[in-house]
Amino acid sequence: MSIPSHPLTLHPRLGASRAFLDALLDRRRPGYSLEAPFYLSDEVFQADMAYIFRRHWIFVGVAPQMPEPGDYITVDIGEDSLLIVRDDDMGLRAFHNVCRHRGSRLCQEHQGSLGHIVCPYHQWTYDLGGRLVHADHMGEAFLREQHGLHKVHLRNLEGLIFVCLADQPPEDFDEVAARMKPYLAPHRLEDCKVAAQVDIIEEGNWKLTLENNRECYHCVANHPELTVSLYEHGFGAQPGPQNADGVARFEDIVKSNHARWQSLGLPSARIEELDSRVSGFRTQRLPLDRAGQSQTLNAEVACRKLLGDFREKSLGGLSFWTQPNSWHHFMSDHVVSFSTLPLDPGRTLVRTLWCVHKDAVEGVDYSVENLTAVWNATNAQDRRLVEATQRGVASPAYQPGPYSPYTEGLVEAFSNWYVTRLRAGLQGDR
């Protein structure tokens, strides 16, 4: 699929910094955290936006944010503002949120509903397919059909919305989607509603947010609420001198639960492709501790009405991690999705969405407070960890430190993927 090219590929400020970026990449030491400029410098940030966020599939939201035709959300990815709308045929479309007249931002709100897309400036009017249908005072020779909104590639993966700003998006996403579909489909996210959305801004580089997400080394000491239900070993832990027994016990629990879930028609096996493909991802249905039902304060379901056709509450949590910016947990009663969107080198938006069955009634089947308690607490704790690390890596005393071979394999997979994709982007533009 190709979308007509428009002049959006490379940020002009990147021009003079290639040698600096090459040198930084050359100095990278596998098995160690990244050098400070990766988290601090404006040049790296511009390269991240150009080569990571404008070249890959970025998770931006969930279909239940737009249940009806005309419903829309806007999402900012760096300097790009995107408009994602539900069209009259119930399809989802993404456009640049930029008027084809003189460039005004079209929709200012984060979310809303509209019949047509009307520019606030001179009222050029577009339909939900992005076609320009009305423009006053433009004369006989003006061709409306040449002034439709610029489209952006969009994939709806069982209710998870990914966009790609590149002219030619990574093609391997189709394979990722095919492999993930059987895992995700039984939870029927498309039949859900958004019960809560919380945006927080972390005063840290987006890579610190992601690195923090990719390990549970820090969980026991920092996340009393999350570790009620979440086993710390579910993040690719490898048996080492101090955790061999725990990892072995966890693997036994995984094995018996997987047999049970597979018999219910729920694919559960781990797929580990975080740094072995362009559209890196990882999935596994992970058992939950104690009541074993959901990521709540007592590990019991937060919503009495279960998702899809589920009758069984103890389905663990299907975790799905994508490079470069998302992670998700699909349980029997709700889905929680996270997107990470960089704002500047030292600030990152983390958006959390909780979805429940669309027929669930607030106050009867669930309470937002109970539904969101664990991840609101966990997000606040993670934010402090990311911000403390951002302040630390800004110190002249910081030097890259070693990853734990037993607990930080997925952090290393993230770093590997990131430097590989950054280098590929830089080389491809030479």
How far is 249 from 252, CA to CA, in rounded Å?
A: 5
| Residue 53: CB minimum distance to Fe ion, A | 23
- Whichever of 145 and 245 has its CB closer to ligand FES, that residue is 145
Task: Calculate the alpha carbon distances from 220 to 47, 134, 217, 232 in Å.
Answer: 35, 58, 7, 7
**Considering CB distances under 5 to 8 angstroms, the limit depending on partner class, which of Fe ion, ligand FES, none binds residue 104?**
ligand FES
- Whichever of 81 and 156 has its CB closer to ligand FES, that residue is 81
- Whichever of 119 and 163 has its CB closer to ligand FES, that residue is 119
**Tokens, residue 374:** 């664990």
How far is 45 from 244, CA to CA, in rounded Å?
A: 39
First and final C-alpha spacing in the chain: 24
Residue 82 near residue 75 (C-beta atoms within 8 A): yes
**Tokens, residue 198:** 């919380």
382 binds Fe ion (CB under 5 A): yes
- Whichever of 122 and 305 has its CB closer to ligand FES, that residue is 122
**Considering CB distances under 5 to 8 angstroms, the limit depending on partner class, which of Fe ion, ligand FES, none binds residue 382?**
Fe ion
Task: Calculate the alpha carbon distances from 422 to 113, 286, 426 in Å.
Answer: 37, 31, 6
- Whichever of 232 and 275 has its CB closer to Fe ion, that residue is 232
**Considering CB distances under 5 to 8 angstroms, the limit depending on partner class, which of ligand FES, Fe ion, none binds residue 99?**
ligand FES
| Residue 418: CB minimum distance to Fe ion, A | 19
| Residue 83: CB minimum distance to ligand FES, A | 13
| Residue 250: CB minimum distance to ligand FES, A | 56
- Whichever of 142 and 259 has its CB closer to ligand FES, that residue is 142
How far is 173 from 181, CA to CA, in rounded Å?
A: 12
Residues in touch with ligand FES (CB under 6 A)? 99, 101-104, 119, 121-122, 124
- Which residue type is seen at 43? E
Q: What is the number of alpha carbons within 13 Å of residue 114 lying toward its C-beta?
A: 24
**Considering CB distances under 5 to 8 angstroms, the limit depending on partner class, which of Fe ion, ligand FES, none binds residue 131?**
none
Residue 208 near residue 390 (C-beta atoms within 8 A): yes
408 binds Fe ion (CB under 5 A): no
> Which positions touch Fe ion (CB under 5 A)?
382
